[in-house]
Amino acid sequence: MCILSLLSFAGCRDEEPVQSAEGKRTITVNLGIAMSRVALDDTDLGDDSQPTDMKVWIFEHGTGNRLAYITETQPVFSGSDALGELVNTKEYVVEVENEIQALDFYVVLNSENGTGLNLEEAATPSQIKEATFTGVKANLKDNQVPAYGCLENFDVSKHRNSYDVPAIKLTRAVGKLELFFTKENENSELMIKKVTLTKLPDKGYLVKPETYSLNYSDDPRTLFESEEEKGTEITAVLTETDASLGDFSQYQDDASKLQSLMSAYLLENPDGGKWAGTEDDGNLDYTYPENLTNVTDNRYVMTVNYSIGGTDKMQVVYLPAIERNVWNKIFARVKGGTLQIQYKAMPWETVVTSIGYAPQPVFPDEEGKTVFDSDDRYESEDYYVLLPKKEYDGKDTRSLMYELYTEAKSGDPEAVLCYVCRPGYVDNSKVDNLTYLKDGSGGARFYFMLTGPEGATWEAHLNDPEGNFAFSTTFEDSEFEDNADGYPVGVYKVTHGIARLKPYVIQIIATHNYTGTTDNPKQEGTESEVKYPEITTPAGNQEWGDKTYFGNNYLTTWGEKQWNDKNVISAEFYITVKLTDGTEYELDINPSYNGYNQKAFSDEGFYYKDNRRYAGTDTRIWIRQLRAQYNGEHGIKNYVDMAKHVDERSEDEWWRVNPYWNTDNE
């Protein structure tokens, strides 16, 4: 998986210029094709494949007068440029007439792998642009299918010493289809026997045409046929608990949950219906429409022959439009004898380097201004930010983000102070008294917003091997209440999303009760946690404000072990982004603001060292579960007292260690 771009005709340079004959000059062209790394191993080039051939034509602009033709078999990509891209670099000398003002460049990779794609040295610009092919060779890899790019009207009239030439962007002329299968129950036997495709276009276009003129064949193409009589067994299991309909693709890299059966390169087919779902529905994938039969247009028709428990079955699937340079992933889960089918399309590779278009964390500029200071920057730039949640109170999102960004100590206290309690404190006017408890976990609630690039997706993670924390995904009917943007007030808390100009809500909760709040404390040898009343407010239940219920007699079995063993219950919270070329990495959700204009922030400063908003490092936030403390104990009177670092500690204050705390700004 790699992006292809013809990068640097790094300087078309002429040094006086050089005169090669009367009326002519020579230009030295440094020609480079770059492929971005997206594999984990820095030595890998996507799927490790190399292009099989490369052809470059250089024409006088607008005339079709060919000035140079460059061809290379099995071009090798090695080395690295300043952006970390793997490159193939050659130097060529081109002789041109002095009066030539501009050049056109046309680049084709892997033309020999396209059936009927006959492009030779004598090809004209129009012949290159109008070239078609009827298919691709078998057993190709991602970087071996036909690809095309051009740069036209490149100015060489000024006879300068060097020219900065924009990247030539190459796009694959076919789409990719990959099929994943799984089953809902590990006890069922799922065998895939055969997968075929009909409604095959009679040709593919090297260059995307303005209009398609295609004929379609009903002769089936076999995409997969098992070598076993019973079929190929699917052992992957993806339960409803793992993923509901709409989110299968989150497990696409886990072979135990989604089993990749096959992949194929397909000619473009612009016909294709819409699948269920919208970009804003909170799901990762589109879902196949129910009861879709007897479609009469020319979209691809895929037929799957399979068996469940020895019973043969067949299902027809009408594919969405297949476009060039798009990786189409079909996920099918067998449940109740039928296939639940989902679809995710992602650009096979972006056409520019992912590094140059990676989103950036929000930092102040030299004047102390940020994207939240103006509508223009707020709406136009690609950035991301993680801020503690706070009520809208009639503001629009930009104004709320501005307030939260500049006031680093404001917002949801558990998010700001990076800890949760279970049972948690009642979230009302008495909250700073630390007197009243409520059933369930407190929650560290964040707004997260990733505005671009288009097509990017993000996912929240917890590095928490013992399972002490979890993300809440409940629906809150007033989460965006009183917002000035017109957003629906009810939203789900989420763990993943897309790039958009609207915040998501992420909430981290604790999974274990540290103490109980019942009249019957745990009994010796009890393995389960204490069951306590479901109380949501202190009204009428003043016993919840009784100091007794914070004491050691009300430790749960789990809590007693953690307390006695002096275990710090913690996890790392982080967020990854996945760009459209497949590049995936951790975001700097907790950057240091050292070195930036501090006018961007209020005089209150930051709770954490290095002017960080949260405990932790650039990419990871340190979240703790703390045992709720009664008001006044250990001098603790508010949330900040609970979180801060204390140098002089008693033996039972072992938990009051916060290595990230800024003791100079409490």
pLDDT band at 636 (very low <50, low <70, confident <90, very high): confident
Pair 571, 510: CB distance under 8 Å: no
Note the pLDDT tens digit of each residue in 303-340.
999 999 889 999 888 888 899 988 888 888 888 777 88
> Domain spanning 175-347 has what CATH number?
2.60.40
Note the pLDDT tens digit of each residue in 544-567.
556 767 788 778 888 889 999 999
pLDDT computed for residue 622 by the predictor: 97
**160 vs 221, more confident:** 221
Residues 6+ apart with CB under 8 A from 551: none
Q: Does domain 4-172 have CATH number 3.30.460.80?
A: no
Q: Which of 130-134, 225-229, 485-489 has the lowest mean pLDDT?
A: 485-489
Cα 410–368–450 angle (5° rounding)? Answer: 60
Q: What sign results for the dihedral spanned by CA atoms 111, 113, 117, 118?
A: positive
**49 vs 226, more confident:** 226
Mean per-residue pLDDT, 496-520: 83
Mean per-residue pLDDT, 586-592: 93
Note the pLDDT tens digit of each residue in 15-25.
444 444 567 77
Residue 380 in this model has a pLDDT that exceeds 80 = yes
Mean per-residue pLDDT, 85-112: 76
Residues 6+ apart with CB under 8 A from 519: none
Mean per-residue pLDDT, 265-292: 74
pLDDT band at 509 (very low <50, low <70, confident <90, very high): very high
**452 vs 36, more confident:** 452
Mean per-residue pLDDT, 177-197: 92
**43 vs 649, more confident:** 649
Three-state secondary-structure class, residue 640: helix
CA dist., res. 269 & res. 642, Å (int): 61
Residue 401 in this model has a pLDDT that exceeds 60 = yes
Residue 27 in this model has a pLDDT that exceeds 70 = no
Residue 127 in this model has a pLDDT that exceeds 80 = yes
Mean per-residue pLDDT, 500-508: 94
pLDDT, the chain, mean: 81
Residue 79 in this model has a pLDDT that exceeds 50 = no
Cα 589–619–661 angle (5° rounding)? Answer: 85
pLDDT computed for residue 159 by the predictor: 63
Instruction: Break the chain into its structural domains and give their ranges.
Output: 4-172, 175-347, 361-653
Q: Distance of CA 209 to CAs 214, 265, 289, 469, Å?
A: 11, 19, 30, 52
Cα 476–477–483 angle (5° rounding)? Answer: 105
pTM above 0.75, yes or no: no
Question: In the chain, pLDDT over 90 holds for what percent of residues?
Answer: 42
Mean per-residue pLDDT, 53-68: 91
User: Do 4-172 and 175-347 share a fold?
Assistant: yes
pLDDT computed for residue 347 by the predictor: 61
